[in-house]
Amino acid sequence: MATGSGALDTFPKYLLQNAKKFGTRPAMRHKDYGIWQTWTWLQMLDEVRSFSLGLKDLGVKRGDKVAVVGSNRPRLYWTFPAVQALGGVPIPVYADSVAEEMVYVLQHAEVRLAVVQDQEQVDKLLSIKDQLPNLEYIIYDWQRGMGDYDEPFLRDYGKLQEQGRSMMPGAEADWLADIGEGKGEDLSVMLYTSGTTGKPKGVMLSYDNLVISSKNANSFDSFDENDEIIAYLPLAWVGDHIFSYGQSMTAGYCVCCPESPDTVTENRHEIAPTYFFAPPRVFEGLLTQITVRMEDAGKWKQKMFHYFLDVANKVGERILNGDSVSFTERLKYTLGDFLVYGPLKNRLGMSRMKVGYTAGEAIGPEIFRFYRSIGLNLKQLYGQTEASVYITAQPDGEISADTVGTPSPDVEIDISDSGEVLYRSPGVFMGYYKNDEATAETKTKEGWVHTGDAGFLDSNGHLRIIDRAKDVGKLNNGSMFPPKYIENKLKFFPNIKEAVAIGNGRDYVAVMLNIDLQPVANWAERNNIAYGSYQELANHPQVYDMMAEHVDQVNADLASEERVAGAQIHRFLVLHKELDADDGELTRTMKVRRTLINERYDPLIEALYDGSSEKFVETEVVFEDGRKGSISATVQIREMAPHAPFAMKEAAE
Amino acid sequence: MNAHDSTLHAPGDGIANGAELLRVDNVTLRFGGVTAIEDISFDILKGEIRAIIGPNGAGKTSMLNVINGFYHPQEGTIRFRGDTRTKMKPYEAAASGIARTFQNVALFTGMSTLDNIMSGRSLKMNKNFITQMFYYGPARDEEIAHRRRVEEIIDFLEIAHIRRQPVGKLPYGLQKRVELGRALALEPDLLLLDEPMAGMNLEEKEDMSRFIVDVNQQFGTTIALIEHDMGVVMDLADRVVVLDYGKKIADGEPAEVQANQNVIDAYLGVPH
């Protein structure tokens, strides 16, 4: 087989190589009909090739943009190399976007074809088809319910593959030649950033960007063909593209697709991946589940659990970091591993985990410590779509909860005068698609990229992130106001799911909270608190008491740090509805959209500052299918007494 | 879940191929002095979705019970696939290809979703008790074949995430789905659904509607359903029969029935 230029610089070339090198090793797994089905690299090559030939038969050519919409399914992952082999550019799109959100991306990218998961996505595209003049074909993976669709531009994925197979072996030489034409500097994929502000931007990443970043990451944590990962994060997110596609292709490891988005936890338990990535909220969620379940467990189990967690808390991290630990403590830890940590890791599907990463948001120190103490090598990394993920990562043995690590291989870091973090690396994106202005704003001529995050390098050369540079504000009295810093402190409490801090240009800081239904409902059940709905529970006086305790603790925390002592929370309220991406309040990656929330909840924010103790509001909500409704409630507001700042006390003495 | 709420299924869109599957002729059912069903006749065509509607106490559930052999009518005949039958036990009805779900969920609450749906396959299992006791050999092969079918149903109804959970702990909407799964496991020719959407919220109703349409289209299963939600009936049904006080007052396509004065009177009441 000829691979053109010979250099391994594109993913289709890697696919050909993997099929030769790891032929009979697993490349991909998918749980279907209750059984894990496996494709070897050779079988995967066959699947990709037949689909690719099918696409070629439909007229896909170099430079064509192909949207990929759906959850983590093998056929959608195969679409990437199948399109790339022909010189096309895949554009994964967030599958849970509503039609209006999708229109913009598909229009902007001038998508010619869309490969989608199922009827739901087909319906979504059909509803906007007339606004997409470039869209010629829609290809669906799942036949279910597609029986009486007679639109001429719909194609069945499997049938297209059959078509491709029928063209073999005659078409193979041409196909290999197509792959050979691909070069490292070519556009490989376009990922639309969800964008906390404004319209999404199409980040163009070249093969060089992705291949080099993937290879660096593989050698940093020594991943090879023996590793296994579970793919469950959105295809459109750069992390998934690197972990489940880039790194798998370059290292040859196996990617496992869950049965459905609802079965990820169970499927992870079955696969026990060696490499696991999750945003902090997943680790938080898992810990919350464990805590809630332990509260319902028998007395002895609870005792054992807490005793050994204490042991782990004392020595676990030291053992993981390779520090010296006394013999008795080591013995206790080993016993604990047998009785508690082992079974716990097994339940979490982490018993084989070599490396786990978390990124995207700050992780609670307690949560981080918990996982590390039971012997899981959980680390933090800092990355961006524009950087092909990796900017910094924590090397083994140099772990702490409040840094994001040292610069990744080949990455240079610089801090601007205003405190903003800049980086330069081989992974730096080519530019934003059709948006030179934004490209110029973000990327300097010398190749430095503005992250938009404020941070500093500590004495060990580890990067610390404070907040989004543009979000750090000032109160009227001149104190610094870092909203995310406050919000994260609040969100570290399992009972608080989301928090929004307000204070820029105001007299004091106020927050709006979202309760986390699972632990709060469990707590309500144990305390005989009756409620009929989320709204009623959120507004319950005892829930407010609990929240007041949490807020008070955060205030005490803030008071002890000189720089942020002035940003203590004076008033708070608990929102009557969960912040939701469907209402545009969160991005698809679940980050708070500040400006939108400020507009939407303006009456509540005013009430936080006008001294009133309650406020009636009506809020519009959008259902998953795009229809609208509204909910109304009277929201209580609580006053908090701030703590005296430590630093000031000392200064007074 | 589904972005399409209108034109789920156009009434009379030609799915029914016209051949008669079941025919009820002049059926009368009495409980002592109370006449629950009086002289009712209608037919169900192969491949259609047939709705039976009517106010409370109209005799809808009794009608289903007559069809699947739970009640024996005093007068009249029922012809299923061309065979006229007089008395039939429910399990005979099941064996002949009639499956049903109940108005109040009737599942084995202590058993898992998987086991509940598997139980729907028991009629299809041919190996005897002794063979099954030894498990290895023919009984295992049979079990694997049936499990495959059950997994297809689980996949179809999107309940993989609750495969191993005891159904008693599941929310109501999911229990209804499991019950539908068990009925489907029988691979019925005629599926009787007794208020499949009772007590559900809008989203659950839409999901269930989609499953019903998909069952009808994908498996070609003929469906007779009782439903109160008029919107659902109008969307789903090919034809509707309306009962009131045990009598048939209308029969036809949804739009026709909706415009029928008798039906309007029955639902809204008329001054006597």
Distance from CA of A298 to the nearest CA of B (A): 20
Assess if residue A23 is contained within a domain.
no
Assess if residue A334 is contained within a domain.
yes
- Region A323-333: what's the mean pLDDT? 89
A581 pLDDT above the threshold of 90: no
**SS3 assignment for A92-153:** EECCCCCHHHHHHHHHHCCCCEEEECCHHHHHHHHHHHHHCCCCCEEEECCCCCCCCCCCCC
Q: Which amino acid is located at A306 in the chain?
A: H
Residue B129 pLDDT:
65
Closest CA relative to residue A87, chosen from A22, A10, A152, A193: A10
Q: Are residues A502 and A486 in the same domain?
A: yes
Q: Which is higher by pLDDT, A473 or A238?
A: A238
On whether ipTM exceeds 0.85, the answer is no
CA atoms of A639 and A612, how far apart (whole Å): 10
Give the bridge partners for A67, in sequence order: A91, A114
Distance from CA of B113 to the nearest CA of A (A): 13
Instruction: Give the C-alpha distances (Å, rounded to integers) separating B243 from B21, B45, B196, B249.
Output: 20, 19, 18, 6
Give percent of chain A with pLDDT exceeding 90. 59
Instruction: Give the C-alpha distances (Å, rounded to integers) separating A256 from A23, A75, A140, A482.
Output: 17, 12, 21, 39
Interface check B7 vs A, CB under 8 A: no
- Region B40-65: what's the mean pLDDT? 90
Q: Are residues A388 and A483 in the same domain?
A: no
Residue A105 pLDDT:
94
Q: Are residues A480 and A615 in the same domain?
A: yes
Residue B132 pLDDT:
67
Is B3 close to A147, i.e. CB distance below 8 A?
Answer: no
Q: Shortest CB distance from B161 goes to which of A147, A260, A623?
A: A260
CA atoms of A282 and A280, how far apart (whole Å): 5
Q: How many domains does chain A have?
A: 3
Q: Are residues A383 and A529 in the same domain?
A: no
In this predicted structure, which of A480-489, A638-647, B3-12, B162-171 has the lowest mean pLDDT?
B3-12
Give the bridge partners for B199, in sequence order: none
* pLDDT grade for B1, boundaries at 50, 70 and 90: very low
Residue A173: which residues within 8 A CB-CB, separation 6 or more? Answer: none
- Region A180-187: what's the mean pLDDT? 94
B94 pLDDT above the threshold of 90: no
**SS3 assignment for A255-298:** EEECCCHHHHHHHHHHHCCCEEECCHHHHHHHHHHHHHHHHCCC
CB atoms within 10 A of CB A612: 11
Three-state secondary structure call for residue A223: coil
Torsion of CA A154, A157, A159, A162, to 10 degrees: 140
Residues of chain A with C-beta less than 8 angstroms from the C-beta of B157: none
Helix A299-320 vs helix A365-373: crossing angle, to nearest 10:
90
Q: Which two tokens stand for residue B150?
A: 């059950």
CA atoms of A11 and A82, how far apart (whole Å): 10
Assess if residue A188 is contained within a domain.
yes
Is B3 close to A263, i.e. CB distance below 8 A?
Answer: no
Residues of chain A with C-beta less than 8 angstroms from the C-beta of B4: 123, 625
Residue B16 pLDDT:
46
Structural domain boundaries enclosing A190 = 47-217+232-247
Q: For residue A350, what is the DSSP state?
A: -
Closest CA relative to residue A569, chosen from A603, A520, A600, A608: A608
Q: Are residues A578 and A431 in the same domain?
A: no
Residue A633: which residues within 8 A CB-CB, separation 6 or more? Answer: A535, A539, A576, A577, A616, A617
**In this structure, what are the phi and psi dihedrals at residue B266, rounded to the nearest 5 degrees?**
-65, -40
Residue B12 pLDDT:
42
CA atoms of B52 and B251, how far apart (whole Å): 9
What is the DSSP annotation of A397-436? T---TT---EEPTT-EEEE-TTSEEEEE-TT---EETT-H
Identify the residue whose tokens are 């700050």: A362
* pLDDT grade for A563, boundaries at 50, 70 and 90: low
Q: Which amino acid is located at B135 in the chain?
A: Y
Is A33 close to B155, i.e. CB distance below 8 A?
Answer: yes
Residues of chain A with C-beta less than 8 angstroms from the C-beta of B3: 99, 120, 123-124, 127, 624-626
Task: Judge whether B233 and B203 are in contact, CB under 8 Å.
Answer: no
Task: Judge whether A339 and A304 are in contact, CB under 8 Å.
Answer: yes
Q: Are residues A431 and A493 in the same domain?
A: no
Residue A262 pLDDT:
87
Residue A340: which residues within 8 A CB-CB, separation 6 or more? Answer: A304, A305, A308, A309, A312, A374
A633 pLDDT above the threshold of 90: no
Q: Are residues A530 and A417 in the same domain?
A: no
Residue B263 pLDDT:
85
CB atoms within 10 A of CB B136: 8
Residue B86 pLDDT:
67
Q: Are residues A364 and A436 in the same domain?
A: yes
pLDDT digits (tens, 9 = 90+) for A476-532: 888 878 888 888 889 888 899 999 999 988 999 999 999 998 889 989 988 899 888
Mean pLDDT of chain A: 89
Assess if residue A201 is contained within a domain.
yes
- Nearest chain B residue to A119, by CA: B2
Residue A125 pLDDT:
95
A650 pLDDT above the threshold of 50: no
**Class of residue A324 by CB neighbours under 10 A (exposed 0-12, middle 13-18, buried 19+):** exposed
A321 pLDDT above the threshold of 90: no
Is B218 close to A144, i.e. CB distance below 8 A?
Answer: yes
Residues of chain B with C-beta less than 8 angstroms from the C-beta of A124: 3
Range picked from A52-61, A412-421, A588-597, B55-64 for highest mean pLDDT:
A52-61
Is B151 close to A34, i.e. CB distance below 8 A?
Answer: yes
Q: Are residues A390 and A479 in the same domain?
A: no
CATH of residue A541's domain is 3.30.300.30
- Domain positions in chain B: 110-187
CATH of residue A92's domain is 3.40.50.12780
CA atoms of A151 and A126, how far apart (whole Å): 9
Residue A484 pLDDT:
84
Assess if residue A537 is contained within a domain.
yes
Q: Shortest CB distance from A123 goes to which of B3, B163, B218?
A: B3
Q: Are residues A190 and A316 in the same domain?
A: no
Q: Are residues A488 and A595 in the same domain?
A: yes
